[in-house]
């Protein structure tokens, strides 16, 4: 079997880089020809990148090139310097790539990156899937849905789906403004379950690309029906300290009752409990949590919760 992985062709585009190297390259892989055209990206936020990239690899190496009936583009490392820094944004200009579309070919590092992605990867796409996720500091269990792409978001079988804010500065929002069907996935991240999440995302990609007609065949049903949730709430500690989780990686994607103790922040010096973060709703859906002991700054995104719509 010749896999999609074996058949990919890579094009590299120069981006302004650090003083030491001058420029760096962004790689866009493509396989197949004709429509429909799909793009799958990972690592727009660098600290979330490796987990989504691994899901892309799992999809590519497990799928025969004969199954393709359109064009598939992949960008597994959309923000290389941010990945290197294990940070959301590239340290050169600290701009958020996912707030920088459609970019500026004459702008700073991240603005040029957005322009290259817009012109070379997004242009001409019928479907755009952007893989985010917990990454190095949290685990996530939801998909964003945007009008016209609900069936794609739900193909991932994420525990929860949430409506994305309507803004054209994100990769998917920009693609949607051009007429593409889009979905953004926020699943997985560093935990004992990270490989299982990667498999689940790869399955979701296979299903989504089949529904969109980029892969042949009939799409399987997702393993679970996603539960729609309302507006999200971010829980943040009022002051920094030593964070000790109480809910664990396996609890992401579940619903806990009001008052459930989620995690505590200890004073780093005296070890006294400064604050306990608790579930705020009768039914609190856990969309994002931090499963690891950590040093935490005050105001840090620590949990993302919402109420199920049912
Ligand atoms: Zn992200």
**Strands (DSSP E) along 160-250, which ranges?**
160-163, 181-188, 227-228, 233-235, 241-245
Domain co-membership, 70 together with 115? yes
Residue 42 alpha carbon to ligand 1 centre in Å = 9
Domain co-membership, 72 together with 213? yes
- CATH number of the structural domain spanning residue 269: 2.40.50.100
Which of residues 187, 203, 227 is at a domain's end? 227
Beta bridge partner(s), residue 131: 42, 185
Residue 48 alpha carbon to ligand 1 centre in Å = 6
Domain co-membership, 80 together with 214? yes
Residue 97 alpha carbon to ligand 1 centre in Å = 10
What pLDDT score was predicted for residue 166? 87
Which of residues 184, 203, 227 is at a domain's end? 227
Residue 273 alpha carbon to ligand 1 centre in Å = 30
What distance in Å separates the CA atoms of residue 201 and residue 212, rounded to the nearest whole number? 16
C-beta atoms surrounding 192 within 10 Å: 11
Residue 66 alpha carbon to ligand 1 centre in Å = 32
Residue 89 alpha carbon to ligand 1 centre in Å = 10
DSSP readout, 232-272?
Answer: -EEE--SS-EEEEESS-GGGTT-EEETT-EEEEEE-TTT--
Residue 302 alpha carbon to ligand 1 centre in Å = 14
What distance in Å separates the CA atoms of residue 8 and residue 68, rounded to the nearest whole number? 12
Residue 217 alpha carbon to ligand 1 centre in Å = 31
Our count of domains for the chain comes to 2
Task: List, for residues 8-57, the tens digit of each pLDDT value.
Answer: 999 999 999 999 989 999 999 999 999 999 999 999 999 999 999 999 99
Residue 95 alpha carbon to ligand 1 centre in Å = 13
Name the token pair of 15. Answer: 């981006």
Residue 59 alpha carbon to ligand 1 centre in Å = 20
Burial of 231 by CB count in 10 Å (0-12 exposed, 13-18 middle, 19+ buried)?
exposed
Domain co-membership, 216 together with 250? no
Q: What is the DSSP letter of 98?
A: G
Residue 101 alpha carbon to ligand 1 centre in Å = 14
Q: Would you say 17 and 109 are in contact if contact means Cβ atoms under 8 Å apart?
A: yes
Residue 185 alpha carbon to ligand 1 centre in Å = 9
Which of residues 175, 197, 227 is at a domain's end? 227
Q: In which domain, by residue range, is 40 found? A: 4-227
Residue 132 alpha carbon to ligand 1 centre in Å = 4
What pLDDT score was predicted for residue 124? 98
Residue 297 alpha carbon to ligand 1 centre in Å = 19
Residue 1 alpha carbon to ligand 1 centre in Å = 34
What pLDDT score was predicted for residue 310? 76
Domain co-membership, 176 together with 257? no
Calculate the CA dihedral of residues 189, 190, 192, 194 and round it to 10 degrees: 40
- CATH number of the structural domain spanning residue 63: 3.40.630.10
What pLDDT score was predicted for residue 34? 96
What string of pLDDT tens digits covers the 310 residues of the chain?
Answer: 999 999 999 999 999 999 998 999 999 999 999 999 999 999 999 999 999 999 999 999 999 999 999 999 999 999 999 999 999 999 999 999 999 999 999 999 999 999 999 999 999 999 999 999 988 899 999 999 999 999 999 999 999 999 998 899 999 999 999 999 999 999 999 999 999 999 999 999 999 999 999 999 999 999 999 999 999 999 999 999 999 999 999 999 999 999 999 999 999 999 999 999 999 999 999 999 999 999 999 999 999 999 999 7
What pLDDT score was predicted for residue 134? 86
């Amino acid at each position: 079997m010749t896999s999609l992985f074996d058949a990919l062709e890579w094009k590299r585009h120069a981006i302004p880089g650090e003083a030491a190297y001058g420029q760096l390259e962004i790689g866009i892989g493509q396989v197949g020809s004709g429509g429909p055209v799909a793009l799958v990206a990972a690592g727009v936020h660098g600290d979330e990148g490796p987990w989504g990239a691994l899901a892309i690899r799992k999809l590519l190496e497990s799928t025969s090139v004969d199954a393709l009936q359109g064009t598939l583009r992949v960008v597994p490392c959309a923000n290389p310097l941010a990945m290197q820094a294990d940070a959301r944004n590239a340290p050169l200009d600290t701009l958020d790539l996912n707030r920088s579309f459609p970019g500026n070919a004459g702008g700073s590092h991240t603005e040029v990156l957005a322009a290259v992605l817009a012109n070379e990867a997004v242009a001409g796409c019928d479907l755009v899937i952007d893989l985010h996720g917990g990454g190095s500091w949290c685990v996530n269990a939801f998909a964003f849905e945007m009008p016209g792409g609900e069936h794609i978001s739900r193909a991932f079988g994420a525990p929860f789906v949430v409506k994305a804010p309507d803004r054209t500065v994100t990769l998917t929002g920009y693609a949607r403004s051009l007429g593409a069907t889009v979905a953004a996935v926020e699943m997985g991240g560093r935990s004992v379950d990270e490989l299982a999440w990667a498999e689940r995302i790869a399955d979701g990609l296979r299903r989504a690309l089949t529904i969109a007609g980029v892969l042949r065949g009939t799409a399987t049903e997702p393993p679970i029906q996603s539960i729609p949730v309302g507006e999200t709430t971010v829980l943040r500690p009022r002051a920094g300290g030593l964070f000790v989780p109480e809910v664990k990686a396996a609890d992401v994607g579940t619903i806990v009752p009001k008052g459930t103790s989620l995690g505590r922040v200890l004073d780093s010096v005296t070890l006294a409990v400064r604050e306990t973060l608790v579930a705020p709703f009768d039914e609190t859906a856990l969309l994002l949590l931090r499963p690891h002991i950590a040093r935490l700054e005050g105001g840090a995104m620590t949990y993302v919760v919402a109420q199920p719509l049912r």
